[in-house]
Amino acid sequence: MRVLLLKPYQDVPRIVHSPPLGLLYLAAALRERFGSDVDVQVVDMKARTLPPKWVESKLKEFEPDVVGLSALNFEAAVAREIAEIVKKHDNTTITAIGGPYPHHRAEEILGNSQFDWVFGGPADRTFPEAVSRLMTGEPLGTDLPGFAYRTEDGVHINEASDIFKDLDSLPIPRTGASSPRPLYLTECLLIGPKENAA
Ligand code: B12
């Protein structure tokens, strides 16, 4: 199973280039849970100022089974554009979106976009579980907090958030995995010791 996690680039004045922590946490969670059974790549298109069209070459090279995007509100349009490119390349690729933009917007997004899966709130446990169910062919179910997807009858939306308190139990992200450090404005936004960087 191959999972491609993308932070989209939206051209705005005074953009801040900081590591995409949400995606880096998800990559760490997938690596911890699946080891070499899942090949995870994180690309920070924002830090590299890569336009949506760049994704076409990445899809040909990596042929992911799942493409996950993280978006704030101002990145919504570009994230939707990337989902369209993914589906045009291969309609069977699962497109997922998480981050602040889709939070409590699952119905709207599933109703008028090319996203298959919408995650609201933290997804460190729920996203790997959905990927696991996809891998084994199990039903996606209704028990994953914050997870929404289309069904034969419409959409299933679980409005809860997967809030958990034991943050120390989360695997430490490899902060260097998405982009060379000089692309980010300041080291103070990096988390974890240097030896964790890829
Ligand atoms: C720290 C922070 C910053 C830091 C960023 C540091 C960094 N390294 O990323 C700084 C100071 C740079 C910053 C800047 C801005 N921020 Co800010 N920031 C935050 C804050 C406090 C925490 C974000 C964070 O790091 N969370 C921790 C990570 C691990 O969580 P996460 O990214 O949410 O990811 C988890 C889930 O969302 C989900 N998920 C995320 N992506 C994906 C993708 C998939 C496929 C899946 C399945 C799941 C998933 O799973 C992840 C793991 O659990 C949030 C408020 C909050 N409490 O969330 C505001 C927040 C994200 N910021 C916000 C805003 C508006 C901004 C600015 C636009 C402000 C401005 N006017 O300039 C800029 C944007 C800069 C840019 N992107 O260019 C808003 C976004 C609102 C929105 N809905 O769009 C928030 C929500 C604050 C708020 N309530 O208004 N910010």
- Kindly list the domain boundaries of the chain, sorted by start residue: 2-191
Q: What is 2-191's CATH number?
A: 3.40.50.280
Q: 46: buried, middle or exposed (CB in 10 Å: 19+, 13-18, 0-12)?
A: buried
| Contact 128 CB / ligand 1 (< 6 Å) | no
Contact 113, 46 (CB under 8 A): no
Contact 161, 145 (CB under 8 A): yes
Q: How far is the CA of 70 from the centre of ligand 1 (A)?
A: 9
pLDDT in tens, the chain (198 residues): 999 999 999 988 767 777 899 999 999 999 999 999 999 999 999 988 899 999 999 999 999 999 999 999 999 999 999 999 999 999 999 999 999 999 999 999 999 999 999 999 999 999 999 999 999 999 999 999 999 999 999 999 999 999 989 999 999 887 654 445 555 654 444 444 444 444
pTM of the model: 0.92
Contact 5, 42 (CB under 8 A): yes
Q: Which residues pair with 31 in a beta bridge?
A: none
**Ligand 1, closest atom to CA 25?**
52
Q: How far is the CA of 138 from the centre of ligand 1 (A)?
A: 32
| Contact 100 CB / ligand 1 (< 6 Å) | yes
Question: In what helix (H) or strand (E) does residue 147 lie, and over which residues does it extend?
Answer: strand 147-151
Integer Cα distance of 7 and 44 in angstroms? 5
